[in-house]
């Protein structure tokens, strides 16, 4: 993973992790659709469009950090925020498939 982060001119490990979380979220969503017999190509397409937008938004924050002094880590912060949202979505996808949610994750939901 570190190599892929370096290959995009050092955007940061947070972006690499975000892309991984996005892929996992998408595929667990597809798995949930298969398990629940409600797989919908339109929903899947919209999910991909949203994820592309998130990557563009994070990229925009990185660009903004180039011209505004003192916010050099804002891009990493935005990427981490979206990582958290995707992690929550991944656990929700598991719940939709009827899998138990670990109690540690339930604590995070309450925060």
> Does 76 map to a domain?
yes
Mean pLDDT, residues 29-39 taken together: 96
> Does 58 map to a domain?
yes
> Does 4 map to a domain?
no
> Does 1 map to a domain?
no
Q: For residue 70, give its domain range.
A: 13-107
pLDDT of 71: 92
> Does 48 map to a domain?
yes
Choose among 21, 3, 45: nearest CA to 93: 21
Q: Name the more confident of 17 and 106.
A: 17
Among 15-29, 62-76, 96-110, name the one with the lowest average pLDDT. 96-110
Choose among 37, 21, 24: nearest CA to 97: 37
pLDDT of 7: 47
Average pLDDT, the chain: 89
> Does 2 map to a domain?
no
The model's pLDDT over 86-107, given as tens digits with 9 standing for 90+, comes to: 999 999 999 999 999 888 887 8
Our count of domains for the chain comes to 1
The model's pLDDT over 44-53, given as tens digits with 9 standing for 90+, comes to: 999 999 999 9
Residue 111 has pLDDT above 70, yes or no: no
């Amino acid at each position: 993973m570190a190599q892929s982060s370096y290959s995009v001119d050092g955007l940061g490990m947070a972006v690499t992790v975000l892309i991984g979380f996005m892929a996992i979220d998408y595929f667990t969503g597809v798995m949930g659709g298969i398990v629940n017999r409600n797989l919908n190509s339109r929903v899947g397409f919209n999910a991909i469009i949203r994820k592309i937008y998130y990557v563009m938004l994070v990229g925009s924050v990185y660009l903004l950090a180039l011209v505004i002094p003192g916010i050099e880590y804002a891009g990493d912060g935005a990427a981490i925020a979206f990582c958290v949202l995707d992690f929550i979505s991944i656990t929700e996808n598991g719940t939709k498939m009827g899998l138990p949610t670990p109690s540690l994750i339930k604590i995070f939901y309450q925060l």
